[in-house]
Amino acid sequence: MASAALAFDRAAADYDQVFGGNPVGRLYRYVFQERLLRLFAPGARLLDLGCGTGEDALFLGSRGYRVTGIDAAPGMLARAREKAAQQQRNEARFVAGSFEDLDALGRDFDGAYSNFGALNCADLRAAGRALARALRPGAPLLLSVMGPRAERPGVTPRVGGIPLPVAYPTPGQVQRAFGPEFSWRPGFALGVLLPSPQRSGWALRNPQAFGALAIAESLVRHWPILRGLGDHNVIEGARR
C-alpha cells in the first residue's frame, strides 16, 4: 500500500488533466455515478474508499450526500480539497488513511463505494473487516474493481513512474475475501464491449464506433454471462 500511495502522489499533479480527456474513463465514471445515485438514499452518510482527486465524492457531496473520502496519497487529497474549496456548497470531506483501517472515522455509515480499481492495490480481507465495522446493518456497497481482463501478462503497471503491484480478482474472489458480513446481488460490467481507459486513443480516433459500442454495452452489461467479464467489474452488495 505504501508504494501505491507514493505512485499516486506523484501522479496527482496532472491526474485530472490526463484522465479528464479520457472518453472511456469518463463513460465508466458516468455509469458508476448513475448507479450511486440510485443505490444510496438522499443525504446518506458515505465512505469513498480510494477517493483520489475527489471526483465521485464531490459529485455526491454537491447533491447533499455526506461523503468522507479516504486516500493514502497526499497529492490526491490536496487536489480534492482544492476542488472542494472552489465550490460554494459541498458535503464532502477528505482524510488521509488506509481503507483497511477505518476505525478512526466512526461507525454506522449508510454506505460505501470504491471506484476505478483502488481495491486492486488493497488487502481485500482487511478492507472487508474494516468496512464491516464501519457500516450499519443493511448499508449498501458498490465496488468497481479491475478484473482479469484488464491484466496484461508479464507487464507490471507503472503509475507516476513507479512499478505498482496490482491484483486482478474476479467478482467472486472479491466477495469471498470480504467475508460473511456482506450479502451480494448481481452487478454489471464496464468494458465488456468497450475498450479499457488505457486505449482511449482508439476512442478518440473512432468516435462513431465508440458511441455504437457504448450503446451496445448499455444493453448487455447486466447479462449474467457478461457482467463479470468487464475490464472493470462493478460489484454490488450490502452489510448484513
Looking at residue 234, which CATH number applies to its domain?
3.40.50.150
Total domain count for the chain?
Answer: 1
Consecutive H or E run containing 3: helix 2-20
Q: Which of 74-83, 151-160, 200-209 has the lowest mean pLDDT?
A: 151-160
**pTM of the shown model:** 0.96
Percentage with pLDDT > 70 across the chain: 100
**Residue whose grid cell is 500500500:** 1
Is residue 41 a contact partner of residue 138, using CB atoms and an 8 Å limit? Answer: no
- SS3 for 2? helix
Q: Is the pLDDT of residue 196 over 80?
A: yes
pLDDT score for 33:
98
The average confidence (pLDDT) of the chain is: 95
- Averaged pLDDT, 45-59: 97
Q: Is the pLDDT of residue 57 over 90?
A: yes
Cα(130)–Cα(101) distance, integer angstroms: 6
Exposure of 186 in the CB half-sphere (CA atoms within 13 A):
9
Cα(149)–Cα(109) distance, integer angstroms: 32
pLDDT score for 1:
60
Render the burial of 153-167: b for 16+ CB within 10 Å, e for the rest: eeeebebbebebeeb
Which residue range(s) make up the domain with 144?
2-239
